[in-house]
Chains A and B, each alone.
Chain A
Amino acid sequence: MDSSLIRHQTEISAHVVLLCRYLRNKGYTVSASEEAEALQAIDKLPIDRERNFILSLKAILAKNRYQYLNFIEHYEEFRFHLAQAADSKIKNEPQKEKKKSKAEEEQARFDALKSWLNLTPSVEEKNIAAFSDIEVLGKKHFSNLSEDEINLMMRLLKKLAKKVAHRKSRLRKVSKSARKIDLKHTIRNSMRNGGNVQKLVYSKPKNKKLKLILLCDVSKSMDLYSRFFVHLIYAFQNAYDKIETFVFSTALHRVSSILDNNDFAKAFDIVSDRVPDWSGGTSIGSSLQDFLDDYGYGMLDKKTIVLILSDGWDTGEPEIIQTAMKSIYKKSRKVIWLNPLAGSPDFSPEAIGMKAALPYIDALVSAHNLESLKFVLNHLKYRRNLTKTT
């Protein structure tokens, strides 16, 4: 082989390896085998066409819709950074800076959560020291909880969530521990023995798994509560099997797999890093409409409960929220809206988004202490009730 061609191919291989490393930092799950496949693929293609080169890398390295649709943009970003890194050697400095301020950031976030709403604790809250953990945490406002208490509360919440994760179905499943004889399976099994019943088969009702969709607002107005709410959706994500989680501010982002595969601190960092509009403006209506357009058809049905976590402050047209909410309400089993402001005694749903969405909500819950979250869990058990609860 021509030496210049060998050099060219080596350069391309190095380029691919660097790209894989860059994409990994962007959240792509590029393992060594994908890296090898990418190299194998470009080996099979004419290397003079850049379009083919990018398309083949896209087919191998992108693993979901977001990555697929943004691959070219990420590739361009990579090329830009590569060119910049070649000019100056300060490639890793911003990351160091970030690490330095992380602890401070953590503290600031926590302090912010503590000052949430500044509600005066009730007399009950002041006199609960003698009760059990659940009782103590139950009515205590989140703003008065320490980080350890928040963790304990999340564990309690997870336990409670698991209790209501299943409903009994009319269908039955074979079980050794069941007590009721299943005639259908007993006879079917007896066929193996020429129709002689040698063993009885027992069955019990199947569990119907609850389907949940969580949509969490992470815009600027929700800054104080975002971390706590992400903690909350993390607890839910780990308690339920059939759950999909999204965060939104000006655009919608699906985060189920991030919350599923990482511990909370890492998951939170990845989510906040990967959502470019975190703490940005709010566009509830268009985010909900995006959810309907992209996922609504497949995800929403009469078995699905939708939980929206937002303060309802919106910059868009209220008609857009109204149309989207109407559609979500119609297609789902139940819609529950968790508003962090609703715990305040003088709360009234005056925010534009909240007002527009109100007719299409089954329950508006404050979500400011464990009691209110228990109320949410209770709601998950039952069918739609036309009475609105605030």
Chain B
Amino acid sequence: MSRAALLVLADGRFPAGGHAHSGGAEAAVHAGRITGAESLESFCRGRLHTAGLVGAALAASAALGVDPVALDAAADARTPSPALRAAARRLGRQLLRAVRAAWPGDELDALGRRFPKGAHQPVVLGAAARAAGLGAEDAAHCAVYESVGGPATATVRLLSLDPFDATAVLARLAPEADRVAEAAVRAARRVVREGTGALPAASAPLLEIHAEAHAGRAGRLFAS
């Protein structure tokens, strides 16, 4: 693996559209569930073990070369909210554009041809890791970190939260994020042998419900 390539892919400034999404944080702020650093930490911990784990397992599986079409279908099955499915595909399309420019290759081109309107973002992330010469562990860590990094940044904007507090939340969650990434990689290795049924299916019903309400709300700052 190239550690520097991992930093490029994981950089919050990687131009793949994430800045317009809050990972459910805006809806949670609106519902009064995130009000400061402490509740942001709880929210992020919940995401880590649900959306984060599932996304990381999908990304790690794709990085191991599992068929992206099967993984995309599995991601659909694990995302009840149509608004979240649409957001995941939009972000997957945007990520693929950036990745094709960064690490051009036939596998990414084929993925774009198969999913012209976008595959689920974690599936593209795993394919991106492959194209960048990275492994399943790297893909899983990227996915896990994104699952909490996005909401933390968004909350800084939404609540004018002290950015040092938000960063400290992410740092405190880091050991837990490592463990989630490791679990995701173990699941991905089972997916290689047993198929997508071995993917975790941890869901967060409130994230899904809030995402639907958010999609219909006028005057929102973030797309999801």
The answer to whether A and B come from one shared complex is no
Chain B residues within 8 Å of A, Cβ to Cβ: none
Give A residues with C-beta under 8 Å from B: none
